[in-house]
Every structure is written in C-alpha cells, then in structure tokens.
Structure 1
Amino acid sequence: MTDLTTALTGISGILATPYDADGNIAPAKQAPIVERALKAGVHILTANGNTGEFYSLTTDEAIEMVTAAAGHIGGRCPLVAGVGRALPDACRLAKASAAAGASALMIHQPPDPFVAPRGVVDYVKAVSEAGNNLPMVLYLRNDGIGTDAIAALCSVPGVVGVKWATPNPMKLKAAMEASPDDIIWVGGLAEVWAPTFYAVGARGFTSGLINVWPERSVAISQALEGGDYAKARDLIAGMQVFEDIRAEEQGGANVPGVKAALAMMGEDCGGVRPPAAWPLSDDQTSRLKAFMDDAGLLSRKAS
C-alpha cells in the first residue's frame, strides 16, 4: 500500500491501446511504450484508462489489455486497472484485473444519465468485492454530484485516491477538506493543469504524454515536487501544443493525437475507433509534426 500511495503522488501514466491494421487490439505493440516510460522514471502505469480507449473496447478486449500490460510491466511499477460501464462488466473486469496482478483498480465514474450519488457508492462497493478488495482510485470527471457525495465515496473502505478530472480547483479544495485525510488527490487533467491542482494540495498527475515523451512528464513532476512552479510552467509550455491538439474537437482528438505522434516516431499503433476523430486533420497533423520535430522526438524513429 505504501508503494502504491507513494507512486500515486507521482505520474500516473495512461497507456495507449494499440491496434493492428484491421482495427483489432495488438497488445504486443504496447511493450515499447511501457519500456520507454519505465526507463524515464514514470511512477505508475494505468491500463484501460481513457487514453487507452476504455469506452471503445469490449470487456474481453479490456481484460486482454490489462493482462498484457501486467506482463509488459513485470512488477517494475504499480499497475492500476481501469474498470467501469455496466456493473456486471465492471465486476468481471475487476476480477480479471486482480487475477492479472493489478495493484489497484481505477473506477471510471459511471456515465449513466440517471446516476444517483448513493447508487455510485453501492457500485464502488460491488466492484471492490469483485476485485478481491484491491485498493481503489476514483476517477472523477463530474463534480456535479456534490461535495457530500464525493466525501461519501472517499469513505468507502478500500478507496485510497481520487483522480480529479474537472477544471474546478476550488471544488477540489472543498472535497479534500470534507474527505478522509489519507486520500491521495491526483490531478486528472494531465500536465497542463498540474500546477493549479498542486496549488490547492493535490499531488501527482495523470499523463498521456508518457506514451510519447515520458522524460518531459518526469521533469515536470520533479519541478512541481521541488516547488519550482516557474520551471514547471516553462516545461509545460514546451509541450502545450501537444495538449492543445488533443483537446480539440471536444476532446475527440485526445487519443488520435497520441496515436499520430507514435506513428511519427515509427511506432504504428493503429488508428482510433469512432466516435473519436481519426485521422487528424491536415492542420492538426502539421502542428503535431512541428512539435515532434522541435522536441527532437522524430529522431527516435530510427531507434
């Protein structure tokens, strides 16, 4: 537990899910991504997160990907396994993730339009039981459920952290004050929002950039942990265009930006399933290539 909670205060890298030319998952293509991230010093890796296209995968595919990720990692860092969707699917995936050797479960916030806050508590408890009571991290993308509901979720036995993925730092502060003191609050909107969330007490951040440029993510983490916000902002400015592209088309270019960058590095991980934006537009591709060139990432193509 100590290793997990310490790792959560660092970088939570969200692994991409590679596809082959026919659009089927290709788990073996994920291995170089894992190796690069671990070599750079990324603290924790997540399978079946949103950068992993969780909602585009079947439950069988998600089980195959978490099993593959565990094999690639080989116990060298904690593995967090994303679970969610219909409760039977979430429970099945939780059980399979525990069997694969995951260190913790990341509970995707249910996207059902008729979610009752107290119903989410029951959902999390059921997933916990199915996952052999592995530690749990709540992935919060909608803070509209209210501070009391968030505090109730954080009080569920086994919950050790929250990935806060809404651009509301003051609501984050209120939730932190209302919840148990031992919860780890992780910035869930990647590097760009990390300084803001750090300023109100969060620690660590999620990252899709680690698939492509983990060294920059690690440098940002080190700057923030050292209290050097100016350096962190400068480092973030140097990768801002990558995140800007990913945020376009209502976020629909998020994973396509990662997949296109990997292809430019000579690591073709396939396309992205609809309803994401694939391929990138000519303008997006041009800006992404310029960023990759400026960052020296195209030189990795031959390695």
Structure 2
Amino acid sequence: MNQHLAQALNGVVAVLVAPFRHGSGPFDADRCTALTARVIGAGIPAVTALGNTAEVYQLDGSEREAMLRAVADGSDGAVRIAGLAGSASEVLRNADLAASLGYDAVMLHEPADPLTDDSGVRAYIIDLVERMPLPTVLYVRSGRLITGAVAELAAHPAVVGVKYAVPDLAALQELMSDGIDCVWVNGAAESRVPATAGLGVRGFTSGLANVRPDLALAVHAAARDGDAAALAEVLEPILAFERLRNRDGGRHNVAVVKQALRLSGFDVGDVRPPSLPAPGDEVEAIVAKLPEPA
C-alpha cells in the first residue's frame, strides 16, 4: 500500500463543503479552491471532494466535475480523495477525471438505490473497484452490507481503506481482528473518536475541519497520544456542534458547517433541499463557545 496515502488516512480527512453562489445557486469553483487551500494550509493532510458534506447528491454532473477540478487546484501537497456516486458510467468517468487531476484515491459511496440488498451492493462495488484507475476507499454507512461482505470487500487488492460510519462498533472490532490489510477510518467524525480510538482506529473524517481545522487536528493529536484528559477537554465544546449536525436525521448536517463558516467570515452559500437551513441562533451560540484559535 502507498505509505503516504495510508499515513493520511490515519490522520484527519476533511470532507469539504460545496460552496454555492447567490444562496444555493451555481457551484462556486473559485470559493471551493480557496476553501481547500485554507484547510490544507492549516495542516490537514487529506481532503475529500464530493463527500456527503458536499451535498454530492444535489450536484449535477457538471458541478461534480467542477468540484473535482476546484479541489485539485487548491490541494497541492495534500492527499486528494475523490468521492464517487451515481451510475457506473458516471462513477468511472469521474474516476478517470480524478486520476488525470492527480487524485490519490477514490471514495466510493454506496449506491442510493433503495431496491437492493447486501448482494446487490457488493456486486456494484466489486464491479467498479476492479475497473477504476485509482485505489478505492469504501464508504460503509447504511448497514446494508453484512459484516462478512465488508470483510470480503476490504480484503480486495484495490481497496486501501474503509470509511466506517455504521454505529455497530462491535462489528468493526470483529473486522479489525481479521487482519485485513487496509486502513480503517472513523467515518462518523470527532464525536466517535474516543470509541474508535479505543479500537485502534487513528484516522477520522471531519466536517468541522472546514471551519476549525485546528480543533480537528487537536482531537487527532490527543487520541494519537492516548491522552484521555486532553481528548475530553478538546472534545467538550465540539460535541454540541456535532450533536446539532446529527439531530433530526442530520437535516441540518451540512447547514451547520456552512453557517459556521459564514460566521467566521468565509461565506460558502446555503444548502440545497432536502437539507434545511440551520437554526442560526443555535449555531452562533455553539461557535461562540469554541476556543479561540491558538
């Protein structure tokens, strides 16, 4: 496995928002490049374009391609991961584009089709990972994949990592005990770091890193060092931010990040349906309680 990629997956992976002009209007490529450079400049080692935090399912094909280009333009020196979703032809087309832009890996979303099961999702993933030009990070989120299927896919030679966001940590512990040669990544952000770090998972994905990369890095450092007191201290003000993102099925998940960015003076626009605007007073109160940047 590429050691540079493995090291980055064991760190903080920022999942970037997609900036829009005029509220939730056209995708703003220049703002996206600036946001990417801002996050990388703060020390984040890896970025994901077209994750769920980018409202990937609300972007059309041309916007997805534009975001891949914009993130590539702003991420010199960092590990770049391209989120891929949609039909097989679109996934493969964007994988080829990502490879041409210098991305290091792709992150494959589970298919959105509700009329499938474990066997269908597994077949979809195997078909694609064997045809893509870059190594794959699997995004396991829905729970449709049974533990045995996750183990089979994680052991595939083209798979370098698994972004694991299913709440079943006992299953994750079982998977990790199998000795599969891939990097396991906490896909549920900072709030789950204490639990996943206890299993030996070092890396995590972060939406907070769009706003406060320093805090995401502080969480990682405390968990890496095994400093439970420091981890609890740095997490305490962050947990309210994450709870609001995850409340009510996550309908404000991206909006909280975008509103916090706006409060910091970096406007990235609003969210598109079915996401809903965040309760501004709550976001403002939470952001006000975050510690000042060092």
TM-score class normalised by the smaller sequence: over 0.9
Moved more, 89-98 or 8-17: 89-98
5+ residue gaps, structure 2: none
Residue 143 of structure 1 and its aligned partner are, at CA, apart by 2.8
Which residue matches 1:245?
244
Contact 2:13 2:46 in 1 (8 A): yes
Kindly provide the CA deviation profile for residues 175-214 of structure 1, in whole angstroms up to 9, marking residues without a partner as x.
2234x53211000000000110111222210100011000
Which residue matches 2:276?
277
Give me the TM-score of the superposition, normalised by structure 1.
0.91
Which residue matches 2:10?
9
Which residue matches 2:226?
227
Kindly provide the CA deviation profile for residues 284-303 of structure 1, in whole angstroms up to 9, marking residues without a partner as x.
31121122223266x9xxxx
Task: State how many pairs are aligned.
Answer: 291
Q: Distance in 1 between matches of 2:289 and 2:122?
A: 46
Q: Distance in 2 between matches of 1:56 and 1:12?
A: 22
Which residue matches 1:169?
169
Which residue matches 2:40?
38
Residue 120 of structure 1 pairs with residue 115 of structure 2? no
Equivalent residue letter for 1:136: T
SS of equivalent residue, structure 1 residue 163: strand
SS of equivalent residue, structure 2 residue 7: helix
Equivalent residue letter for 1:19: F
SS of equivalent residue, structure 2 residue 54: coil
Give me the TM-score of the superposition, normalised by structure 2.
0.93
SS of equivalent residue, structure 1 residue 150: helix
Q: Distance in 1 between matches of 2:85 and 2:193?
A: 25
Identity score, percent: 34
Q: How does 1:76-155 map onto structure 2 within 5 Å?
A: 76-132=77-133, 134-155=134-155
Contact 1:249 1:277 in 2 (8 A): no
Which residue matches 2:253?
254
Equivalent residue letter for 1:4: L
Residue 295 of structure 1 pairs with residue 294 of structure 2? no
Residue 98 of structure 1 and its aligned partner are, at CA, apart by 1.4
Q: Distance in 1 between matches of 2:185 and 2:229?
A: 20
Contact 1:241 1:288 in 2 (8 A): no
Equivalent residue letter for 1:23: G
Q: Distance in 2 between matches of 1:274 and 1:101?
A: 32
Contact 1:40 1:218 in 2 (8 A): no
Q: Distance in 2 between matches of 1:246 and 1:142?
A: 18
Alpha-carbon RMSD across the aligned residues, in angstroms, is 1.7
Residue 28 of structure 1 pairs with residue 30 of structure 2? yes
Residue 14 of structure 1 and its aligned partner are, at CA, apart by 0.3
Residue 160 of structure 1 and its aligned partner are, at CA, apart by 0.8
Q: Distance in 1 between matches of 2:26 and 2:249?
A: 25
